Amino acid sequence: MSASVTLKQQIITESQKLGIDKIGFTTADDFEELRSSLEAQKAAGHTSGFEHPNIDERLNPTLIFDHPQSIIAIALAYPSRMKQQPKRTGLKRGQFARASWGDDYHHILREKMALLIDRVKDIVGEGNARFEPMVDTGQLIDVAVAHRAGLGFIGKNGLLITEEFGSFVYLGEMITDLKLEPDTPIPCQCGECTRCLDACPVQALLGDGRMNAQRCLSYQTQTKGLMADEFRPKIRNVIYGCDICQVACPFNRGKDFHLHQRMEPDVEKVRPELLPMLKLSNKQFNDRFGQMAGAWRGKKPLQRNAIIALVNLGDVSAVDDLLHVMSQDPRPMIRATAAYAVGRLSRSYETTSRAKVAEQYQKELVSGQEEAFLKEYRRALETIDALK
């Protein structure tokens, strides 16, 4: 057994001690075979804008690390089911997608990789190895690295699917100058199955492992402007993320692992009451949701989504609160979304609600508000008037 294989086995052993659920190894060769696909997606407008902007750096480890030799990929399994349900309070609740349950996975993965790097340096000697860890927002494509490192295969929904945990895994990787024996990639095992494609309510999946990220409901819940009409009913009561394609996947059937305490969902956070969310200050929002991955875009998108979720749930009792938000919130987009909700939730012609919407519309008009926002007030008035 060569020294490199011995070191690899030692790294695997140390990773298991640290609670890393899967680990794999690949070369630091480039990923140039993905260039044409990435360029085509960008040209088609299918990228989210959250990706690392430099395609060359996404594909070539040598551009971001001096003399790389290997990449170590890791995966941590996260739960897919809650052990308990929130209390019934009479208020409608929203939900966060599973990948945002528990503490922010970026922090958890970075901490695991930092600990593993320390263990490896203890083995090889300080100064004898260099590492560059990254998670999600790094230059490399997590799924591509994990696939080439043998952690699993890439499904038709573009997610890495592992044998043990399905696609309910967080991914991270470390570039290193240590030369380690690579593992073997696993070919796609989806076969003729199209359940994820069929389940996606907005047809965001292209069928070959790629997606139109602009259509993905997870992306839509993270934008900061008005949500397009098409997507509003589709998000149902989800205020962050989307895991419809994961739930539909046969490889995820029965997969539910509770291996990391920090990933356990707090039911009051992942199934929050919607109306109270509209009144949160920045401090209150950060105190309650700041540790979750779903908080990274701030409270505005989540509050917008909460308003839309109230509409989708048909919560007529929320109209008075929404009228208050419409007239008092300092953010034009939130006010406009509240006006939309008042119109959609009105069940009969009600002069007081109509008068308040009309009054706010005039204020927005006089202040020179954007046409897209003004349109929400006009549509609300038309909807209410149609109830006469």
Q: Among residues 236, 232, 228, 204, which one has the least CA distance to residue 95? A: 236
Residue 217: give the domain boundaries: 1-268
Q: How many helices (H) and strands (E) does the chain have?
A: 16, 8
The pLDDT, as a whole number, for residue 331 is: 98
pTM across the whole model: 0.95
The pLDDT, as a whole number, for residue 137 is: 81
pLDDT per position as a tens digit, 189-243: 999 999 999 999 999 999 999 999 999 999 999 999 999 999 999 999 999 999 9
What H or E segment, with its residue span, contains residue 333? helix 332-345
Structural domain contains residue 144: yes
Which member of 29, 103, 136, 266 is catalytic? 136
Structural domain contains residue 334: no
β-pair type (22-27, 70-77): antiparallel
Cβ within 8 Å of residue 311, ≥6 positions away:
232, 340, 341, 344, 345
Number of residues assigned to the chain: 388
Residue 136 is a catalytic residue:
yes
- Whole-number percent of the chain with pLDDT over 90: 97
Structural domain contains residue 370: no
Structural domain contains residue 196: yes
- H-only helix segments in 205-298: 217-220, 244-248, 267-270, 274-277, 282-289
Given a cut of 70, whether residue 4 has pLDDT beyond it is: no
Structural domain contains residue 44: yes
Domain count within the chain: 1
What's the rounded mean pLDDT across residues 233-262? 98
User: How far is residue 313's CA from residue 32's CA, in Å, rounded to a whole number?
Assistant: 46
What's the rounded mean pLDDT across residues 316-322? 98
CB 4 within 8 A of CB 179: yes
List the single range of 106-110, 128-132, 134-138, 353-357 with lowest mean pLDDT.
Answer: 134-138
User: How far is residue 381's CA from residue 376's CA, in Å, rounded to a whole number?
Assistant: 9
Q: Among residues 244, 160, 161, which one has the least CA distance to residue 197? A: 244
Model confidence at 5, in pLDDT bands (50, 70, 90)? Answer: low
Structural domain contains residue 70: yes
What's the rounded mean pLDDT across residues 20-24? 98
The pLDDT, as a whole number, for residue 242 is: 98
User: Two tokens at 29?
Assistant: 């060769």
Q: Among residues 65, 174, 64, which one has the least CA distance to residue 115? A: 174
User: How far is residue 374's CA from residue 244's CA, in Å, rounded to a whole number?
Assistant: 33
Structural domain contains residue 69: yes
pLDDT per position as a tens digit, 25-73: 999 999 999 999 999 999 999 999 999 999 999 999 999 999 999 999 9
Structural domain contains residue 21: yes
The pLDDT, as a whole number, for residue 1 is: 43
Given a cut of 60, whether residue 361 has pLDDT beyond it is: yes
User: How far is residue 204's CA from residue 217's CA, in Å, rounded to a whole number?
Assistant: 8
Mean pLDDT score of the chain: 97
